Structure formats: structure tokens, C-alpha cells
Amino acid sequence: MKTFTCKEIMNDASGCDMAFSGNDAMAVAGQCGQHVASSTDEAHKPMRDLMMNPNHTQADREKWMAWFQGEWEKKKEV
Ligand SMILES: [Zn+2]
């Protein structure tokens, strides 16, 4: 199992200190996605936009997922 904070998932650009744990990258991304979707503040806006804004294409989301998968590989198991 690995743990990422909201901040790490947002590449330290923004976010908060809430942590998400799971056995694969998609599980953690999904948990954070729900957390971000339920947020309304500026701190989560970049990720919220990526998820919800129709100006972001599927390709943008896939690029993000590829980045996160890389971060996932680098992260140590806990
Ligand atoms: Zn957060």
C-alpha cells in the first residue's frame, strides 16, 4: 500500500495535507478525485478544473494519469 497527500497528487502546486492510501495508482487517484470534486476552494481549483472543465480533454487527463503513475512507481510502499 502507498500513501499520497492531496498536495503530492497535485504536484505540490496546491492542494491540502489530506492523505489517501491504496494498492494501486487508480484507487488513490479516485479517492483524491472525490475529495477534489467535493471541494470549493481555490487550493483545489487546478485539479478540479482538470477533472471537470470541458476545456480539458481526455488527452490532458491521460497525461496527468501518466505523470501520477510515474510518481506512484517512485513512491515507497508503506
Ligand atoms: Zn485536498
What pLDDT digit, counting tens, does each position of 24-34 carry?
999 999 999 99
Give the DSSP letter string of the chain.
Answer: -EEEEHHHHTTTSS--S-EEEESSHHHHHHHHHHHHHT--SGGGHHHHHHHH-TTS-HHHHHHHHHHHHHHHHHSPP-
| Interval between CA 47 and ligand 1 midpoint (Å) | 10
| Interval between CA 55 and ligand 1 midpoint (Å) | 22
Among 56, 30, 23, which Cα is nearest to 9's? 30
Look up the pTM and report it.
0.89
CA distance 18 to 40: 15
Whether pLDDT at 20 is above 90 = yes
Residues with C-beta atoms within 5 A of ion ligand 1: 6, 15-16, 18
